[in-house]
A = this chain, B = another copy of it.
Amino acid sequence: MIPPLNPANSALLTDLYQLTMLQGYYDSGMEETAVFEFFVRKLRPGRGFLMAAGLEQALEFLEGLHFSSEELAWLASTGRFNNGFLAQLETLRFSGEVHAMPEGMVFFPNEPILRVTAPIAQAQLVETRLINLLHFQTLIASKAARMKLMAPDKLLVDFGLRRAHGAEAGLLAARASYLAGFSGSATVQAGMQFGIPLFGTMAHSFVQAHDGETLAFEHFAHAQPDNVVLLIDTYDTEAAAQKVVALAPQLASQGIRIKGVRIDSGNLAEHARQVRQILDAGGLRHVTIFASGDLDEYALRDMLASGAPVDGFGIGTRMDTSSDMPYLDCAYKLQEYAGKARRKRSEGKQTWPGRKQVYRSYGADGRMAADVVTVEGDVQPGEPLLRQVMRAGKRIAAATLAGSRIHAETNLAQLPEPLRRLQEPCDYPVQIAEALRRLAQQVDRESSNL
In-complex Cβ contact of A209 among B34, B162, B172, B200 (8 A):
B34
**Interface members, chain A 72-127 (any B CB < 8 Å):** 74, 78, 80, 120, 124, 127
Q: Shortest distance in angstroms between A114's beta carbon and chain B's nearest beta carbon?
A: 14
Whole-angstrom distance between the alpha carbons of A131 and B166 in the complex? 10
Report the bound CA distance from A212 to B340 in whole Å.
Answer: 13
A169 to B322, CA, bound (A): 14
Among B129, B133, B161, B209, contact of A128 (Cβ-Cβ < 8 Å): B161
Please determine whether B321 and A188 come into contact, CB atoms closer than 8 angstroms: no
A208: which of B19, B188, B337 is its contact (CB, 8 Å)?
A: B337
Partner of A21, one of B202, B318, B333: B202
Contact with B along A185-212 (1 / 0, CB 8 A): 0111101110000111111111011111
The segment from A5-13, A361-369, A416-424 that touches chain B is: A5-13
Q: How far is the CB of A127 from chain B (nearest CB, A)?
A: 7
The yes or no answer to A410 lying at the interface (CB within 8 A) is no
Bitwise, A1-41 to B at CB < 8 A (1) or not (0) is: 01111111110111111111101111110100010100000
How many copies the complex holds: the figure is 2
Q: Which of A302-310, A323-331, A385-393, A426-434 contacts B (4 or more CB under 8 A)?
A: A323-331
**Total interface residues in chain A, CB < 8 Å:** 118
Residue in B closest to A344 when the chains form the complex, CB atoms: B204
Residues of chain B contacted by A163 (CB below 8 angstroms): 131-132, 135, 327-328, 330
Per CB-CB distance, the 6 closest pairs between chain A and chain B, nearest first, are: A16-B200, A166-B168, A165-B165, A17-B200, A24-B223, A205-B334
Q: Which residues of A contact B (CB under 8 A)?
A: 2-10, 12-21, 23-28, 30, 34, 36, 57, 60, 71, 74, 78, 80, 120, 124, 127-129, 131-133, 135-136, 139, 159, 161-173, 186-189, 191-193, 198-206, 208-213, 219-220, 222-224, 226-227, 233-236, 264-266, 317-318, 321-323, 326-328, 330, 333-334, 337-338, 342-349, 447, 450
